[in-house]
Structure 1
Amino acid sequence: MTTVALDTGVGPLLRGWREQRRVSQLELALRAESSARHVSFIETGRARPSEAMILRLAEHLDVPVRERNALLLAAGYAPRYAETMLDDPSMGALHEGIQQLLRGYEPYPALVVDGSYNVVAANSGTTMLLEGVSERLLSGPLNAMRLTLHPSGLAPRIRNLREWRGHLLHQMERQMALARSETLRTLYDEVAGYPLPEAGDGAGAEGADEGEAPLPCPRFALPLQIEHRGQVLSFVSSISTFNTPMDVTVSELAIETFLPADPATVEHLQSIGR
């Protein structure tokens, strides 16, 4: 996902992150227990920062772990953070813990995605919602954004598609502001270009047919309202990440869980599980 050219030099890269975070040289220096003069010299190439200084500045600028490796490489240092495949034996405890978490959340949907929203694990509650999705979207790497917003995916069954689509696109925009990724930008441009149903054309167009009462929404969060086997289910979602990750792969994982937002959804899911 890193898009930074390594021959740019660590100074301009750090300056780019500082400006993106809208932090002054003085403010960054105070956070890192340095001086504005030293930060300025680093950014202009007049001073070569130590490995520890690069990591300290990156931490205070909230630079993603993957991009911290790019900063170190640009300064002539070795990467600090490994990028380990999830199926590597060293990831066994993490992998098993994720699987236990997903199984424990059943019958409600839960899944794990990487930094490009590719699904790396999911439970049976998620699989249940994917009934009727085009086989083309289900073959190869599954991508949560494509599965949700593609016209051959879940989109036709989402009763509040416009609102939920806006929420997902905003979520991607916030992520792109934190991590400069061409992969993520390409995905965003793709899913943002998917057509929306015309008003009155299907369940995804603003939620209900003409004359039908709007679906009740919880007041505490925007719900995902999706039709399944003739029943409209309502969920609110939450996203969790790992604290202080020391591996690139782990740093980009996110666990999304869907909590039933009304008693009818609870009853429907529990009836399927029985």
Structure 2
Amino acid sequence: MNIATTPAPAKVPTIGERLRDWRRKRRLSQLDLALDAEISTRHLSFLETGRATPSRDMVLRLAECLEVPLRERNALMLAAGYAPVFPDRAFDDPSLATVRAAVEAVLHAHMPFPALAIDRRWIMLSSNAALAPLLAGVSPKLLDGPVNVLRVSLHPEGVAPRIANLAEWRGHILSRLRRQLADSGDAELADLIKELSAYPGGEAHPRAGEGLIAAPLRLNTPDGELSFLSATMTFGSPLDVMVSELAIETFLPVDAATARALGAQSISS
């Protein structure tokens, strides 16, 4: 006779286990963290093993020393039995009108070069008009609903077939995502890395001595090959989870030919 069994519920990490995990992610010893937080190693050990319960201020102090993202600081607070400290509002929340206005001002000022705003999982929140020509030929299904810009970039039905240095650009993106995963601990980024890694195109990195200052994006277009360097802008000293995770990605022309082509497109449109 078969007896159905109910799987045991997943164990929820304690506040001490979470603090220990973040310390290890940051490659710090107990002594390193204790010195930074100005507490004894004995007290830190008691907190990590559950022999002592951290106060609200202690959780925030250790999270600051560990450079834990605001979203995860809220999770630490909840694990310790306290209310979250940092608000987590949607990008279109009325209270973030000033933030949206600042984002739109930057996107507009970057014309005629492409720029877009993304959230922590690379979902596009806004973009300027210069981005649209670069998406020509992308499958409509990739642009339906929330648009993940990395999926659009590397998918075989996305921009990938027109990227002249696809292996190099893939290597840059995947390396950046792996660093982001290490910094944030966001499990959904691990899923995104797995998905993107399965796309064709290889993975390579520029070699030292090639004279490059950064990995370029080289894109084949009807106007010839356009070459860009990317730069990222974030808000300083954020106190809102969304704002702390929001980034503006800008693309700058590497050469005069790219600048002229984009300038001409801007005038014609």
TM-score by length of 1: 0.89
Distance apart, 1:11 and its partner CA: 0.4
Determine the structure 1 residue equivalent to 2:213: 220
Matched residue, 1:172: 177
Letter in 2 for 1:25: Q
Match for residue 62 of structure 1? 67
The answer to whether structure 1 residue 43 and structure 2 residue 43 are counterparts is no
How is 1:84-103 mapped onto 2 (pairs within 5 angstroms)?
A: 84-103=89-108
For 1:269, what is the secondary structure of its paired residue?
helix
Give yes or no for contact 2:130–2:266 (8 Å, CA) kept in 1: no
Match of 2:133 among 122, 125, 128: 128
SS for the counterpart of 1:8 is coil
Secondary structure in structure 2 of the residue aligned to 1:120? strand
CA distance, structure 2, for counterparts of residue 21 and residue 220 of structure 1: 28
Structure 1 residues 117, 240: CA separation in 2 closer, same or farther (over 3 Å shift)?
same
1:246 CA displacement: 0.8
Partner residue of 2:78? 73
Task: List per-residue Cα deviations over 1:83-114 (Å, max 9, x = no partner).
Answer: 10111110111101101110110110111111
Q: Which aligned pairs between 1:136-175 and structure 2 lie closer than 5 A?
A: 136-175=141-180
Determine which of 218, 239, 249 is the counterpart of 2:232: 239
- 1:109-124 equivalences in 2 (<5 Å): 109-124=114-129
Q: CA deviation at 1:196?
A: 2.3
2:265 to 260, 269, 272: 272
The unaligned stretches of length 5 or more in structure 2 are 1-9, 203-209
Q: Report if the CA contact (8 A) 1:146-1:153 is conserved.
A: yes
Spell out structure 1 runs of 4+ moving beyond 3 A. none
CA distance in 2, matches of 1:230, 1:262: 14
Give the Cα separation in 2 of the matches to 1:7 and 1:173.
25
Query: Residue type matched to 2:153 in 1?
Result: T
Aligned residue for 1:238, secondary structure, equals strand
Separation in 2, partners of 1:82, 1:106: 32
One-letter amino acid of the structure 2 residue matched with residue 160 of structure 1: N
- SS of the aligned residue for 2:63 comes to helix
Deviation at 1:182, TM superposition (A): 2.1
CA deviation map 1:97-146 (0-9, x unaligned): 10111011011011111111110111111112111111111111100111
**Cα distance in 1, alignment partners of residues 230 and 50 from structure 2:** 45
Deviation digits for residues 127-167 of structure 1 (CA, Å, limit 9, x no counterpart): 12111111111111100111100001000000000000000
- 3-state DSSP class of the match of 2:249? strand
- Kindly provide the amino acid, as one letter, of the partner of residue 68 in structure 1: R
Distance 2:211 2:94 in 1: 43
Question: Structure 1 residue 254: deviation in Å?
Answer: 1.1
For the residue of structure 1 that corresponds to 2:12, the secondary structure is: helix
**1-structure distance, mates of 2:13, 2:148:** 32
- The amino acid across from 1:78 in the alignment is A
Contact 1:238–1:256 (8 Å) recurs in 2: yes
Deviations along 1:230-249, whole A, 9 cap, x unmatched? 41000001112222211111
- Structure 2 Cα separation of the partners of residues 35 and 194 of structure 1: 49
Check whether the contact 1:110–1:122 (CA below 8 A) recurs between aligned residues: yes
How many residue pairs match? The answer is 251
Task: Read off the aligned partner of 2:96 and give its amino acid letter.
Answer: M
Aligned counterpart, 1:201? none
Identity rate of aligned residues, in percent? 49
**Match among 170, 180, 187 for residue 182 of structure 1:** 187
